[in-house]
Amino acid sequence: MAAKVFESIGKFGLALAVAGGVVNSALYNVDAGHRAVIFDRFRGVQDIVVGEGTHFLIPWVQKPIIFDCRSRPRNVPVITGSKDLQNVNITLRILFRPVASQLPRIYTSIGEDYDERVLPSITTEILKSVVARFDAGELITQRELVSRQVSDDLTERAATFGLILDDVSLTHLTFGKEFTEAVEAKQVAQQEAERARFVVEKAEQQKKAAIISAEGDSKAAELIANSLATAGDGLIELRKLEAAEDIATYQLSRSRNITYLPAGQSVLLQLPQ
């Protein structure tokens, strides 16, 4: 009797385990920010995109393919040429994500590694096309315009593959060794030219100052000559009196070794005999 009970319990446990395995194989989870595409062995890829949560499928017949629909970054380095045939090294940073409604088409025509297959090729194509419109100097001075044109063209191109580009930016832009050396030599020449121009301007200002000073001295001499011709020796006597007054007021009066003696009076000094 006990053997039959244990046998029944074993069969029940086995059936429960099989049922649990079947149920578990019929369930799958789609995490937050992800979407699923169902592949059916008899009907192929289904057009329905499954959202987040736990879902059922037919075991062995159906298989879920999970896609990450969150924005992801990718850096794409490209070596190309400018309008004036200078080598340009550019690194483009792209923030991309797939269009959820087009995931069945992406999986069917491109595959799960769509970013590896699409982004490097279209980025290289667009960068070569845009950079070729500008020379090396314009790539530096008009970097914002270049970045905007790359972003617009690349966004339009990626949309044909079912991709959304949330951000496109130029993170690295350098030129060949020869061009860099030429730019440095040009900067040195410009600095030397500015220094030479400053020296010339300084000499011109000094020349003008000397001319103005000479003209002032000439004008002063002319005025003095006219005054002497008009007033005779009176002007000279006036200047002497002014000079004497200045000496007496500001120089002699402040000296401790100077004593004034009243005129017409005798002053006796007590000197030791």
Closest Cα partner for 54 from 26, 33, 22, 17?
26
Q: How far apart are CA 160 and CA 113, in angstroms?
A: 16
Compute the CA torsion angle 181, 187, 192, 194 (nearest 10 deg): 170
Q: Is the CB of residue 165 less than 8 Å from the CB of residue 185?
A: no
Find the mean pLDDT for residues 234-242. Answer: 68
Q: Is domain 72-175 in CATH 3.30.479.30, yes or no?
A: yes
**Amino acid at the residue 119:** L
Q: How many CB atoms lie within 10 A of CB 138?
A: 16
Estimate to the nearest angstrom the gap between the alpha carbon of 157 and the chain centroid.
Answer: 26
Least confident of 63-77, 120-134, 244-258: 244-258
Per-residue pLDDT at 178 exceeds 90: no
The CA-based angle 116-121-122, given to 5 degrees, is: 110
pLDDT at 86: 87
Q: Is the CB of residue 49 less than 8 Å from the CB of residue 103?
A: yes
User: What global pTM score does this model have?
Assistant: 0.61
Q: Which is more confidently placed, 269 or 211?
A: 211
pLDDT at 158: 95
Write the pLDDT tens digit of every residue in 212-235: 887 777 777 777 777 666 766 666
Find the mean pLDDT for residues 93-106. Answer: 95
pLDDT at 242: 73
